[in-house]
Every structure is written in C-alpha cells, then in structure tokens.
A = this chain, B = another copy of it.
Amino acid sequence: MSTVDGKTVRVALLGCGTVGTEVARLLTEHADELAARAGAPVELAGIAVRRPDKHPELPQHLLTHDAAALVESDVDVVVELIGGVDPVREWLLTALRKGKSVVTANKALLAEHSAELFEAADSAGADLYFEAAVAGAIPLLRPLRESLAGDRITKVMGIVNGTTNFILSAMDSTGAGYAETLDEASRLGYAEADPTADVDGYDAASKAAILASLAFHTRVTASDVHREGIANVSASDIAAAKALGRTVKLLSICERVASADGTESVSARVHPVMIPRSHPLASVGGAFNAVFVEADAAGQLMFYGQGAGGAPTASAVLGDLVAVARNRVIGGRGPRESAHAALPVRPMGQTPTRYHVSLDVADKPGVLAQVAHVFADHEVSIAAVRQRDRNDTASLVIVTHLAPDAALQATVEAIGTMDVVNEVVSVMRVEGEDS
C-alpha cells in the first residue's frame, strides 16, 4: 500500500521565521510519514535566511543567504515564507518558469501579482499552491478551488485577521476606546509594532482579493477591494451595537452581485460590520478565524480554525507541499488558475449594503418624519426604527434595507447637516440578518 518509490523531491525553503522553523521541524520529524503520503522522500535541500549566523538551531550545511541561487539550484519545490512583494516576486517567477512548484503563504504578493505567477506556472506546467495565505490552518482555499468546483459560489464572508478581531472583541468586553485597546493589544503581543497592515485592513483586503478570485473565477486584486479599517470604530459604535444585541467585527466580504439587467459583477470589500450576537461569527474570538461560504447547491458552509501562528500555518504549508510533491511523483499537476468568468468588479458606491445609523436628535414632534424624509429622498428604504427619550434629546436608531452604498453615504451626510440632529453617534454597515 505504501509506495515510496518516487525520485526524492528536493525542497528549498525561503525564510525561516516562526512558520519556517515549524515547517523545517515537521519536514524532518515526520519525514517517513510525509514520504509515504507523497510517494517519494521529501527532502529539505536548502534554507535561505538573511543572516545564517543567527540560526544556530538549523542544520548549518543547509543555510544560505543567497535565496536567488538556492532557487536556481537543483531543487524541485520552492516554499516561500518571507512575505512582501519584492524581491520575492522575481524569485518565484524564476522558479515557476523553470518548472519548479511553488508553495507560498504570501498573501500580499498573490493579491497583486497572481495573474503573472499563474501564467508562469501554466506555461511551465508547474504548481502554485497557497493554502496558508488565507486563514492559516483552515482548509479553505482547497475547498473553494476543488470541492466547490461544480457549484456556484454566491458569497464568501468571514473573519480573516486575528489582530483586529482581538481588538474589537476586547473593545466589546471592556467598553474601552480604540486607541487604548490597540495599546493593550501591542503590549500583549497581539498587534505588531507597526499595526497598519492589520488595523487599516490591508491584510484582510489581500485575503479578500484571493478569496474573491477563487470563488468567482475572476481576477480580483487588492486594489479592487474596498477597504476600511477599524481605527474609526468608537466606543459609541460598540455601545450602539450592544444596545441592539449586536457586535462589531471586521469582515472580508466577497459577493456575486446581479444587476437589474441580469449581468453579474463581483463585490469585494473589507469594513467593520454589525452582526447579531446570535450569528456564528459573533462568537469567534482571539486568534481564531472563521469563514462562511454560500453556494447555490451546497447552501451555507462554515470553516473555523486558527488563522495564524507558526504551527497552524505550517500545517497548511505542509499539506500543499505533500500535494505538489505527489503531483511531481505521479506526473500530474493541481488545479490551474480559473479566471474564465472574468466578471467586472463593482465599485463600492454601487454595491448594495445595509446601514445602521444611530442619531442623537432634538426631542420634539416631527423629527422622525423629517429624518425619514431624507432617507426617502435618497431612495433608501427603512427596515426598522427605534426611538428613545433622554431629557430634552432623544436617540433615534435606524436600520435600512439594502441600498447602493453611495446612496446610504449621501443619506448619512445629509442627515448630519439637519438642524434637528445633534449628533450622528454611529454609522455602520449591517450583515447577517434578514433584510
């Protein structure tokens, strides 16, 4: 049953931080098991690190600082865990053009240059796998690329950034503001020294681009993704959400949107969202990620697991490594880029969303009528209103039906200028409830 008769698969490892160290360890410790699964020994042929002298824990004869030379050497698979676009992009293009398979966790690179990378892979018949680039250990990309290949995916929505999820969960439980909570997250090691990529949504936007591309067979890059981070989420927003049995999460949302004339487009966006506390995503805390997928035939699916960390990410890398090694052994290859649908990407302003708007208004008759009039002027339909008196002011909470995001934005702007409106307390998009 267990045939390990294939030619040894030689692996170059680029980068050896938290994830790379785990990959190197598992490759060595589980060598027999991996060989049985791949059908050939899988051997670490070299490890490129910036400063070889800083890695006394690694086999010294494998270390090099020359990643370019390692890629050009006699290796079959390149595992890239350095991250960032340059100079990694050139190395991986070189590897693919020479027919070497590539396994990478590099979301930033894939979110901008996947077309070029896939073309290089296709022309040389090489594999490009990247399960670890989105949602760490969770097997998510393979199901999207393969299991659902016969279905029609309509929506992918989830929590794919652990730092922002930690901060929002903490704000929800303590009632503290954003800046204070970010400081605490940094102190505890949940936020990087420069947290921009996480808190401004760049990381989640790269992942949304990768997810939308796979789900809708369309090339979507990070620059196509509408991006809002969590820096503007205030303690008032969190309190307003709580008062309504909701919580705030930063979600990556990829949707197939049909126009009135039946033509389809893709919406990909990252922004804070209010969801009901009963929603399965509401209870996802800490470093965990969770992603919902909706498809015509399959219905609703959820995937849950650890989104980051050395060992979980290494698990995803090794799964890919076994797959590309096995493909080499049997002379096949994995799924290629699937971009045949080539749907247009819909601008955020034209994307249908729902808003929650919380207002502090004058407590006198006719205010609701005036405010409702502004919504109507912008052709935004109201789903629910809640009004509460507070001394001589009143709070007015409005949740809309679906409307183009631009119309909702314009409505909120107009309301902010009304005499009877003292303050726009909170504005946030809503997901996960019937409209």
How many copies of the shown chain assemble into the complex? Answer: 2
Known: A326-B335, A332-B332. A150 touches B299 (CB 8 A): no
Q: Are B150 and A339 in contact (CB under 8 A)?
A: no
Residues of B within 8 A of A22 (CB): 297
Cα A298 to Cα B19 with chains together (Å): 12
Q: Which of A281-333 contact B (CB under 8 A)?
A: 295-306, 309, 311-312, 314-323, 326-327, 330-333
CB-CB < 8 A to A322: which residues of B? 146, 149-150
Say whether A305 contacts B311, CB under 8 Å. Answer: no
Write the nearest CB–CB distance from A170 to chain B, whole angstroms. Answer: 21
Chain B residue with Cβ nearest A305: B301
Contact A300-B306, Cβ < 8 Å, known A30-B150, A150-B318, A319-B146: yes
Question: Is the Cβ of A311 less than 8 Å from the Cβ of B335?
Answer: no
A146: chain B residues at CB < 8 Å are: 139, 142, 319, 322-323
A138 within 8 A of B: yes
Complex contact A299–B311 (CB within 8 A)? yes
Contact with B along A18-51 (1 / 0, CB 8 A): 0000100010001001101101000000000000
Q: Is A238 interfacial (CB 8 A cutoff)?
A: no
> Once the chains bind, are A311 and B338 in contact (CB under 8 Å)?
no
User: Is A224 an interface position by the 8 A CB rule?
Assistant: no
CB distance from A303 to the nearest CB of B (A): 6
Residues of B within 8 A of A333 (CB): 330, 332
A217 at the interface (CB under 8 A from B): yes
A295 and B36 alpha carbons, distance in the complex (Å): 18
Q: Is A340 an interface residue (CB 8 A)?
A: yes
- Chain A contacts with B in 140-172, Cβ cutoff 8 A: 142-143, 146-152
- Knowing A131-B147, A146-B319, A322-B149, say if A306 contacts B298 (CB, 8 Å): yes
Residues of B within 8 A of A260 (CB): none
Most buried by B among A22, A33, A146, A317: A146
Chain A, range 159-187, C-beta contacts under 8 Å to B: none
Query: Bound state CA distance, A167 and B190, in angstroms?
Result: 43
Given contacts A298-B306, A311-B299, A332-B332, contact A319 B139 (CB under 8 A): no
Alpha-carbon separation in the docked complex, A333 to B311 (Å) = 29
Taking the closest CB of chain B, its distance from the CB of A314, in whole angstroms, is 5
A34 in contact with B150 given A314-B297, A335-B326 (CB within 8 Å): yes
Known: A1-B339, A143-B142, A332-B332. A149 touches B295 (CB 8 A): no
Per-residue interface assignment for chain A, residues 183 to 211, with 1 indicating a CB less than 8 Å from any chain B CB and 0 otherwise = 00000000000000000000000000000
Residues of B within 8 A of A311 (CB): 296-299
Give the complex CA separation of A342 and B301 in angstroms. 32
A371 within 8 A of B: no
Is A137 interfacial (CB 8 A cutoff)? yes
8 A Cβ contacts from A331-357 to B? 331-333, 335-342
Query: Complex formed: what's the CA distance from A209 to B110 in Å?
Result: 38
A297 touches which of B26, B131, B337 (Cβ 8 Å):
B26
Who on chain B is nearest to A42 by CB? B150
Asked whether any CB of chain B lies closer than 8 Å to the CB of A263, the reply is: no
Contacts of A332 in B (CB 8 A): 327, 330-333
Which residues of B are found within 8 Å of A336, using beta-carbon distances?
39
User: Apart from A150-B317, A150-B322, what are 7 other A-B pairs with CB-CB below 8 Å?
Assistant: A37-B149, A137-B297, A142-B143, A146-B323, A150-B320, A327-B332, A332-B333
In the assembled complex, 8 residue pairs joining A and B whose CB atoms fall closer than 8 Å, in A order, are: A33-B341, A36-B338, A137-B301, A143-B143, A150-B318, A299-B309, A301-B305, A302-B303
